[in-house]
Amino acid sequence: MAKKKIGILTGGGDAPGLNAVIYSIVRSCHEKYDLIGYRFGYRGLYNNDFVPLTVESTSGILHKGGTILYSSNKDNLFDYAEEENGVVVKRDRSDVAVANMKKEGVEYLIVLGGDGTLTSARDFARKGVNVIGVPKTIDNDLSSTDTTFGFDTAVNIVVENLGRLHTTAESHHRVMVVEVMGRSAGWIALHAGIAGSADVILIPEIPYTVENVVKKIKAREAIGKKFTIVVVTEGAAEKGGEAVVGRVVADSPDAIRFGGIAAKLANDLEKHVDNEVRHVTLGHIQRGGDTSPADRLLSIRYGVKAADMLEKGQFGNMVCLRNGAMDSESLEVVLGSSATGSTSMGLSKRVDPSCELVQTAKSIGISFGD
């Protein structure tokens, strides 16, 4: 008898660990199922563009960042942009995807992605597709799971770069303002800032004032420390102000792209301190390169759990990590009950300003500009 077939896709921004999840799903399922991977996320599902996934074709990908299936964050098939007579119109093309799956005999779909990608996974589940979600984001801001894969790698990369910036900051008595990813959640800045010996950590959950950051810089000068490292989340904002928007990508589910807060803050600080102030935006460096060992382990656990859920018929759910153990949660719970086709940012997990980690940072002298 022919094996039943599983489709896998990766959507949204890339994150270290995607390949490790694919690797573990293939190795967990290959004896009983045939597997294919849709290229470029939901676009591949729409165009029926896929490649076979075998033990041989996925050999050697465990450690690699990125995704061998490629990715896209602009292809919501429930609100798909098409050009007609020179005008861009949006239509629900989800039925095309379902028809393509039936044509190829794909009975199960495993979706690796963040809130936007998993919102579409939820919507396909509502159409009767046997879907399982796997949470992915370096920002660690998805609800219902303690940790997302890719986060640990991003933190490691930021910490490594902070170490490099420390030496040049100290040599030139500079203030270095380092912008990191995270959107509206400060997890990367918080973890990397503490581990990377930052002096100031600015996160979206705790509005800052320039005056309080200046106070920290001058307090360090008073004890002979004539340099300062400031780590700031891209979505952080001054008290009474708004996050700095770098650009707007109109055809993306997440149209607002933060960026530029480090440059703004550096300009603001130079008006009040004697130091030369430089700014650095780490950007996509945080997503690149090899996957950390911790993320490899976590990704393998996510992949094996997804395979187990498929075997048990637990569709319409997302794999999650709770209190150190693998578990699952309904996509409806994770993402809320917005209408099919609408963009959902899910129930975002943000830093609690009163949490133990923030208090720990303050106890060792780190300022949050508040």
**Can you read off the two tokens belonging to residue 153?**
């790698």
CB contact at 8 A, 352 and 358: yes
Element (H, E) at 189: helix 187-195
Higher pLDDT, 22 or 251: 22
- Using a 10 angstrom Cβ sphere, with 0-12 exposed, 13-18 middle and 19 or more buried, the burial of residue 347 is middle
pLDDT (mean) for 18-42: 97
68 phi/psi in degrees, rounded to 5: -70, -15
Strands 4-10 and 33-38: parallel
The whole-angstrom separation of Cα 23 and Cα 46 is: 24
Whether 146 is a known active-site residue: answer no
The pLDDT of residue 339 is above 80: no
**Least confident stretch, 50-54, 156-160, 257-261:** 257-261
- Asked if the model's pLDDT at residue 157 lies above 80, the reply is yes
Do 4-149+291-335 and 154-288+352-363 fold alike per CATH?
yes
Torsion of CA 202, 208, 209, 215, to 10 degrees: -50
Q: Quote the pLDDT of residue 65.
A: 92
Per CATH, domain 4-149+291-335 is 3.40.50.300: no
Rounded to whole angstroms, the Cα distance separating 43 from 145 reads 27
Judged against a pLDDT cut of 90, whether residue 253 lies above it is answered with no
Q: Which tokens in the block code for residue 57? A: 């074709």
Alpha-carbon distance 249 to 338, whole Å?
Answer: 22
| Phi, psi for residue 124 in degrees, rounded to 5 | -70, -35
- Domain ranges in the chain are 4-149+291-335, 154-288+352-363
Please give the helix or strand (H or E) that residue 59 lies within, else none: none
Q: Look at residue 343 and tell me whether its pLDDT is greater than 70.
A: no
Phi/psi for 319 (5° steps) reads: -65, 140
**Side-chain half-sphere of 346: how many Cα atoms within 13 Å?**
31
The pLDDT value recorded for residue 336 is 76
Secondary-structure class of domain 154-288+352-363 per CATH: alpha beta
Give the pLDDT confidence score for residue 144 in this predicted structure: 87
Q: Mean pLDDT for the chain? A: 92
Q: How far apart are CA 144 and CA 141, in angstroms?
A: 10
Of the pLDDT bands very low, low, confident and very high (cuts 50, 70, 90), residue 335 is confident
Burial (0-12, 13-18, 19+ Cβ within 10 Å), 109 = buried
Please give the Cα distance from 36 to 5 (Å, whole number): 8
Helical packing angle, 115-126 and 94-104, nearest 10° = 70
pLDDT at 250: 64
Q: Which of 14, 115, 123, 139 is catalytic?
A: 139
Q: Tens digits of per-residue pLDDT, 172-203?
A: 999 999 999 998 999 999 999 999 999 999 99
